[in-house]
Chain A
């Protein structure tokens, strides 16, 4: 079966750095997405990785290792507004997105 695993919840301090991990087992791989979802709102696109390595986008970076079936989202200089759920999703060989349950990130002052 297809599976995406992420920690359920993480807590970090304002101004700090946090890394949210995602491991996956899917039938084929056509890229991995990270989305941010604030409570009661729609998911919004953060990043897409299809090649191994680190993609940096401002305070957010996303890393992929296809051989390990592993990705992480790195958030730097955390702000209170970063409190949200972070969803990992993998596009399988049929170009369908398989979603993880999301990691709820709590930022404390």
Chain B
């Protein structure tokens, strides 16, 4: 199946730990994204990345860092987790602008992170 897949689906961890969420897309898309969806359901862009440029939302703490080993993967690494990091994190991908306008972004199924 062509898709954006992210793991794990659920992640429960203690404050202060470091964790990673993995994302892979087999759609051949050039750009990948990480979004955070908080309890109020707002989707907020954290990072967008293609093989040329990383764009970081300035409001994202530097404890969050994207790591892209290749065009098909964009992992999210989080250091020193805090209670406020609890949210659902979505990975997404898109092709060029024309594709985006026709089909939008393709989202992964989300990772529900709970920090205790």
Contact = CB atoms under 8 A, between A and B. Distances in A.
29 contacts: A31-B101, A33-B104, A35-B104, A40-B110, A41-B109, A41-B110, A42-B4, A42-B90, A42-B108, A42-B109, A43-B43, A43-B105, A43-B107, A44-B107, A45-B105, A45-B106, A48-B101, A48-B104, A50-B101, A89-B43, A95-B97, A96-B45, A96-B48, A97-B105, A99-B43, A100-B42, A101-B40, A101-B42, A102-B41
Interface of A: 31, 33, 35, 40-45, 48, 50, 85, 87, 89, 95-97, 99-102
B44 interface: yes
> Is chain B's binding surface mostly helix, strand, loop or mixed?
mixed
A96 to B, nearest CB: 6
B contact residues, range: 20 to 34
A45 B101 CA distance: 10
